[in-house]
Amino acid sequence: SRMKVSQKLPFLGYLCLVWEFMMHSLVFPSISKAIPDFFPKRSGDLQLGLEHGRFAVGDLCSDERLSGVRTINAGPDDPNWRAVFQLAVVKSRFKDCCVVMGAPKNLVTSLQAKFSVPFDIIGHEIDGTELKTRVEKILVVPEASGHALAYQEALKEEVLVISIGFGTVEVGAADDTGVIASSLKSFDRGMAVCAEHVMTDLMGMGAAATVRDGGLHFWDDLVRDVHDGRARDLPKSTARGVVPFNEVHTVVHENLRSHSAELVTLLRAHLKTLRHRKFSLILTGGGLLYTPVKQALERMAEEDNYDLVESTKENRLRSAALGFRSIGREYFPDKNVVALDLGNHTTVAYYVPQGSESQ
């Protein structure tokens, strides 16, 4: 049975508003670009001088027509990923803090190992103001645990969250005791797999091997454009002419359908191990922007008798960071906490001051 968010889930959106009032936060697209100088007429929130250079992030990159770089799950060794992470943390204006952030379950251990705490982040704003934050501890948790905790706290019942991302598909569940460890699962079958298959098929038809910063993001953009009805011809590599839109359209939609079917097969096999529990099912992640993916998962929920809770775009955007906020409240009750969801498409940071654990 499908239940609309207005019927079943009004509270998460309300929590977002309440917590937004209680805490500072920062939300921006997860792109960054090194810049030689600040843009004096643009928002200071989205540009900062760091120890490894000046950077613009988020909407400022598109406003200034910069070729912003998306670095999915790269970690602190990558200068662009580090810029997004450091800006999101130091803009808290905390003198010291603990960071709770998410990663695909299969990358949690490796990402945690890349940080050596404590360390200082030093930034300079447009007006010369120095920002300095000491990161005392970092806790990296499975991304799906954040989603699951946020929705469980809102619904007050057992929830199972499936997040269809670009790189991975993440699954996690929670009940009133917290995250259910056996439910956590990561599949390397995000929408990048669909983009890669589209690339292979179209290059086999003679399309030029277009490469941009971020690699498969060019082909992911192509899939999105075609799905949304925007015509895209592709230039051929060895001769004049193009791969016409109708052929591009066919390739994209065939791959979306086959990828959707593969996702259902994978997820059903995992969910069977949890059938002894009665979950409400919540779907999230950028993959839901694709109608074939969304419809396939909704059919799975209906055929397998899950109560499907339909969430809003705003809830899907913020739920992981709100869940990380809850984890931070538990693990670091006497510290300033930055709850950080550094996602492939959007970065969300909540800044929780020391002593606000009762909020």
Predicted confidence (pLDDT) per residue in 125-143, tens digit: 999 999 999 999 999 999 9
Q: What is the pLDDT of residue 227?
A: 93
Q: What is the pLDDT of residue 23?
A: 52
Measured between alpha carbons, how far is 19 from 17 in angstroms, rounded to an integer?
6
Bond before 118 cis per omega within 30 degrees: yes
Measured between alpha carbons, how far is 264 from 303 in angstroms, rounded to an integer?
11
Q: What is the pLDDT of residue 231?
A: 77
How many other CB atoms sit within 10 Å of the CB of residue 315? 24
Q: What is the pLDDT of residue 98?
A: 98
How many other CB atoms sit within 10 Å of the CB of residue 279? 22
Strand partners, 293: none
Question: In whole angstroms, how far apart are CA 203 and each of 222, 227, 248?
Answer: 13, 19, 11
Amino acid letter, residue 169:
V
Measured between alpha carbons, how far is 132 from 116 in angstroms, rounded to an integer?
17
Measured between alpha carbons, how far is 282 from 308 in angstroms, rounded to an integer?
6
Nearest to 30 by CA among 217, 297, 299: 217
Q: Phi then psi for 30, rounded to 5 degrees?
A: -80, 60
Residue pair 257/232 in contact (Cβ under 8 Å)? The answer is no
Sign of CA pseudo-dihedral 85, 86, 92, 98 = positive
pLDDT beneath 70: ranges in the chain: 1-23, 209-215, 239, 357-359
How many other CB atoms sit within 10 Å of the CB of residue 225? 14
Measured between alpha carbons, how far is 259 from 292 in angstroms, rounded to an integer?
9
User: For the segment 172-203, what is each residue's pLDDT rounded down to a tens digit?
Assistant: 999 999 999 999 999 999 999 999 999 999 98
Query: Where is 270: in which H helix or E strand?
Result: helix 245-271
Q: What is the pLDDT of residue 241?
A: 81
Amino acid letter, residue 264:
V
Measured between alpha carbons, how far is 320 from 82 in angstroms, rounded to an integer?
20
Which tokens is 27 given? 């939300």
Q: What is the pLDDT of residue 210?
A: 63
Measured between alpha carbons, how far is 182 from 274 in angstroms, rounded to an integer?
8
Residue 82: half-sphere exposure toward Cβ, Cα within 13 Å:
17
Prediction pTM value:
0.86
**What are the E-state strand segments in 262-306?**
280-284
Q: Cβ-count burial of 154 within 10 angstroms (0-12 exposed, 13-18 middle, 19+ buried)?
A: buried
